[in-house]
């Protein structure tokens, strides 16, 4: 059965790593001016995973409040998008399925295309729900952005997971058609199976990102998408937050609109609050931009938002969504701010130790210290298997019903 009801994001929740390194601390050791990080990249701090955290624990932590609020009866599919896969065969979502005690009659699969994977998951979820309106899909986007020490990419690391429940008659954002699509084979950022850190050609990746903005927008227009004037603002994938400002200026140029710097800053700034203190979270980054905008602005009822998703390599998509009137009653602003403020500040030496601590690959028994602030942990490894456990399943801190024009960074 197909239907004409609106389909989109019914609920959204995110969590991040339990450790944080500020760019002020990083700059003392890299020799770069802190202004380069704060102004040039638009980054204040980066989240890092504690020893007992990974993409599974962060994703389970992000999804648990959604399950608490909506139950599991209607969930038919769990889509897990990541660049930071932990297994060549088994989907990370199966571990989350187990940690959250989800019913067995659910399909679980993992998707990969660099930072674009979550958008593919969202669109596939929308199509499934369109086909069977009584069903819901849980979309998880979870990543740990990790570059070589002392490389230019080092300042653009981060870690976070976003969970979204996709359903008919959504409470947050209805996803519109058409989408503008763009795929181009380019080696701007990649990670061969034998590497823990990404390889990147930084300048080439920025040029490839902007070319994708242009390509996806042209395709969106060719498919009779909305004119730029009808779109209130655009949530971009944010490898670092200045990239979103650059991308928006490029989009306005491409759309033939004179780009006024103040207006551009005003439009994009509300989408950057979370990413500037969390850092790059690959697949999750675009949806952290959406969370930031929804949590920060209280007058978005019925507004049309643009979304630009970019995954190096490269695949990109431009689409729009309509903010559902009354969305504020469903937000999780307090819990989001709590996930950020509970992070433990670490210094540069501790950061380097965290960065260079791989898990054993010889199948030996390995226990991990309890460091996470989250509700799930990777307790160790044995026989080449990751062992997870629930710490405690707490009720969501609160769902915000108030006005939150400003999201206070805790760094
Ligand atoms: N005060 C203010 N600004 C300063 C400054 C100072 N003292 N010093 C430098 N800056 C500015 C520079 O002018 C520059 O701004 P513009 O780009 O507007 O000119 C900015 O700070 C960065 O300086 P550099 O270009 O010198 O920085 P860098 O060579 O160290 O590299 C980078 C920056 C390429 C982004 C690098 O961090 C990197 O490779 N990051 C990883 C790749 C990446 O994020 N690519 C983005 C597109 S790809 C993508 O989106 C997918 C993904 O997630 C990876």
Q: What is the pLDDT of residue 259?
A: 79
Contact of 246 with 42, CB cutoff 8 Å: no
Residues of the chain with pLDDT under 70: 1-3, 392-411
Residue with tokens 């209130």: 232
pLDDT score recorded for residue 2: 53
Q: Which residues are tagged catalytic?
A: 83, 115, 237
**Terminal C-alpha separation, the chain:** 50
**Cα–Cα distance measured from residue 98 to residue 105, given in angstroms and rounded to the nearest whole number:** 12
Nearest Cα neighbor of 246 from 224, 229, 268, 226 is: 268
| Closest residue CA from atom 52 of ligand 1 | 239
**Predicted TM-score of the model (pTM):** 0.95
Q: What kind and span of H or E run contains 37?
A: none
Q: In the prediction, which pLDDT does 383 show?
A: 97
pLDDT of residue 95: 98
Pairing between strand 199-200 and 189-190? antiparallel
Q: What pLDDT does residue 400 have?
A: 30
**pLDDT at residue 399 in the model:** 30
Helix (H/G/I), strand (E/B), else coil: 340: helix
Angle between helices 348-355 and 23-30 (to 10 degrees): 90
Burial class (CB in 10 A: 0-12, 13-18, 19+), 88: exposed
* Nearest C-alpha neighbor of 20 from the set 190, 217, 157: 157
Task: Output the residue whose Cα is nearest ligand 1's atom 21.
Answer: 40
Residues with CB under 6 A from ligand 1: 33, 35-36, 39-41, 115, 152-153, 155-156, 188-189, 200, 202-203, 205-206, 209, 237, 239-240, 243, 280, 282, 310, 312
Cα 166 to ligand 1 centre (Å) = 34
**Beta bridge partner(s), residue 381:** 366, 386
Neighbours of 354 (CB within 10 A): 17
Is 147 part of any known ligand binding site? yes
Select from 202, 213, 311 the residue to mutate for testing ligand 1; criterion: most ligand atoms less than 8 Å from CB: 202
Cα–ligand 1 centroid distance for 262 (angstroms): 21
Q: How crowded is residue 217: how many other Cβ atoms within 10 Å of its Cβ?
A: 23
Q: Which residue has tokens 């200026």?
A: 249
pLDDT of 357: 82
DSSP state, residue 38: I
Q: What is the pLDDT of residue 396?
A: 42
Q: What is the pLDDT of residue 379?
A: 97
Which residue is it, tokens 């930072």?
A: 115
Q: Which domains does the chain have, with CATH numbers?
A: 7-172+332-406 (3.40.47.10), 174-327 (3.40.47.10)
Quick: pLDDT tens for 215-248. 999 999 999 999 999 999 999 999 999 999 999 9
Cα–Cα distance, 236 to 53 (Å, whole number): 26
């Amino acid at each position: 059965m197909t239907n004409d009801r609106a389909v989109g994001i019914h609920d959204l929740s995110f969590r991040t790593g339990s450790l944080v390194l500020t760019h002020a601390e990083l700059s003392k050791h890299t020799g770069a001016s802190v202004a380069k990080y704060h102004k040039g990249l638009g980054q204040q701090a980066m989240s890092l995973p504690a020893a007992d955290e990974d993409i599974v624990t962060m994703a389970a932590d992000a999804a648990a409040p959604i399950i608490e609020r909506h139950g599991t009866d209607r969930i038919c599919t769990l889509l897990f998008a990541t660049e930071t896969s932990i297994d060549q065969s088994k989907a990370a979502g199966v571990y989350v399925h187990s940690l959250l005690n989800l019913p067995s009659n659910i399909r679980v699969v993992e998707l990969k295309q660099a930072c674009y994977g979550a958008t593919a998951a969202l669109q596939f979820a929308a199509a499934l729900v369109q086909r069977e309106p009584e069903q819901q899909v849980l979309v998880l986007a979870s990543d740990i952005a990790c570059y070589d020490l002392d490389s230019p990419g080092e300042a653009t690391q981060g870690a976070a997971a976003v969970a979204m429940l996709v359903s008919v008659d959504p409470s947050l954002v209805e996803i519109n058609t058409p989408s503008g699509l763009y795929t181009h084979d380019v080696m701007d950022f990649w990670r061969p199976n034998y590497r823990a850190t990404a390889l990147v050609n930084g300048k080439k990746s920025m040029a490839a990102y902007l070319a994708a903005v242009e390509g996806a927008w042209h395709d969106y227009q060719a498919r009779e998408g909305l004119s730029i004037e009808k779109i209130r603002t655009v949530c971009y994938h944010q490898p670092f937050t200045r990239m979103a400002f650059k991308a928006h200026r490029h989009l306005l140029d491409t759309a033939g609109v004179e780009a006024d710097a103040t207006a551009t800053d005003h439009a994009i700034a509300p989408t950057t609050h979370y990413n500037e203190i969390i850092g790059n979270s690959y697949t999750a980054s675009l949806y952290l931009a959406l969370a930031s905008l929804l949590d920060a602005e209280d007058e978005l009822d019925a507004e049309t938002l643009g979304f630009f998703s970019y995954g190096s390599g490269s695949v990109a998509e431009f689409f729009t969504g309509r903010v559902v009137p009354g969305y504020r009653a469903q937000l999780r602003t307090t819990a989001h701010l709590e996930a950020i403020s509970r992070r433990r500040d670490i210094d540069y030496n501790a950061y380097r130790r965290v960065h260079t601590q791989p898990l054993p690959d010889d199948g030996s028994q390995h226990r991990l210290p309890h460091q996470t602030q989250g509700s799930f942990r990777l307790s160790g490894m044995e026989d080449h298997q990751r062992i997870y456990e629930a710490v405690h399943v707490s009720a969501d801190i609160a769902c915000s019903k108030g006005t939150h024009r400003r999201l206070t960074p805790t760094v």
